[in-house]
Amino acid sequence: MKRRQFLSFCSGCLFAGLANAQEWSAPPRLARPDVASDEGGLWALMDREEARLRRSPFALRDPHLQRYVQDIACRLATEHCADLRVHLVRTPFFNATMAPNGMMQVWTGLLLRVDNEAQLAAVIGHEIGHYLQRHQLDRLRDVKKRSAFGQFLGMFGLVGMAGQVGLLAGMFAYGREHESEADRIGSLLMRRAGYDAAEAANIWENLQLELKARGDGEQNSPLFATHPPAEERQAALRRLAEAAPGGITNASAWQKRIAPYLREWLGDEVKRGQHEESIALLTRKIGSYPANAEYLHARAEAYRLRAKGEDLQTALADYQVAASLGGEPAETHRGMGLVFRAIGDSAAARTHFQRYLEKAPDAPDAPMIRSYL
């Protein structure tokens, strides 16, 4: 097939997908399957996982934030709202999952990265698309064929959160056909709920910035392992959004809602140890919110911990800007003290260590800082 014919063919496939998205209608509410069936057994397993999740120390127990995210899911799921239960999970990775019994996990690394409510709606709508099309059942059958059912049991649970993320993503992720279908359904659900569907493409563009900063792009990322290539996906999502432009983003409402957790989530992100990715994320956030001392402090911490080349000087500049804005975390002065101590400026280090202890006298590391003084 010649290149022009091939491109024309691909374009036809894309527009056929758009048409299918426009014609798609949600199925009736899903009835609980017979426990003796494959799907019934999977529901029972996920019920047990959900019980574990409710007791987990990783569960974020804020009824106000949980209800806010649950309401977004309900606006997207409409008549299926009663069957969905959103669980917020404190872990610094970007992810959300949807189990066939209606259990949805939304991770704080995702909440930190989205810029507005519409972007969160895009991810949730995508997961609801998997749920409504019962893609999980296809995955179950495929895994059973590959004799990997034992490992599949932990797919949605906390077992796979950190150490097994790459393994599980590679073995059990949806195929590209399922991912593209979920994108189409998610875009349609966004438009029906009044959100700006163009924000869906922005999520993947932002994630690419982090992966490029790491240096290996999509190739070694489990997040992109079975998704369509990011550039291809962005183009498809933008075309889907063009079918019905406009809509709300609710950016200011979103920033207000997450403000109480921002310091905690940023600390978790820096502790991940992926400094290049964190710096790319925080640089993007600072571009949007240059007067937010939390983002500046977090980027300074990432530079200080990486400590390559001019990183300490760059960290010091960020700490100083954060302190000049006011409302900076007490740890900003600890960070400045550590940088000044590293570069041999004892007087400046003492000043900032004292300031840190004034602002946080009961900090866990206060005895260590007093020993420096």
Mean pLDDT in residue range 235-262: 93
Q: What is 196-259 written as a DSSP string?
A: -TTHHHHHHHHHHHHHHHHTSTTTT-GGGSSSPPHHHHHHHHHHHHHTS---B--HHHHHHHHG
Q: Domain residues of the chain, as ranges?
A: 34-242, 273-372
Give 46-78 pLDDT, tens digit per residue. Answer: 888 889 889 989 999 999 999 999 999 999 999
Residue 5 has pLDDT above 50, yes or no: no
Mean pLDDT in residue range 90-115: 93
pLDDT for the residue 18 = 44
Q: What is residue 89's three-state secondary structure?
A: strand
pLDDT for the residue 227 = 56
* DSSP 8-state code for residue 78: G
Residue whose C-alpha is closest to residue 274's, from 349, 222, 215: 215
pLDDT for the residue 151 = 53
pLDDT for the residue 159 = 41
Return the residue matching tokens 């840190």: 356
pLDDT for the residue 152 = 54
Q: For the chain, give the mean pLDDT.
A: 85
Mean pLDDT in residue range 132-146: 74
Enter the pTM of the model.
0.85
Residue 114 has pLDDT above 90, yes or no: yes
Greater model confidence, 151 or 50 = 50
Q: Residue 166: pLDDT band by 50, 70, 90 thresholds?
A: very low
Residue 86 has pLDDT above 60, yes or no: yes
Q: Residue 229: pLDDT band by 50, 70, 90 thresholds?
A: low
Residue 171 has pLDDT above 60, yes or no: no
Interior CA angle at 115 toward 113 and 117, to 5°? 110
Torsion of CA 251, 254, 255, 258, to 10 degrees: -160
Q: Residue 44: pLDDT band by 50, 70, 90 thresholds?
A: confident
Which amino acid is present at 223? L
Class of domain 273-372: mainly alpha
Residue 173 has pLDDT above 90, yes or no: no
pLDDT for the residue 6 = 32
pLDDT for the residue 174 = 73
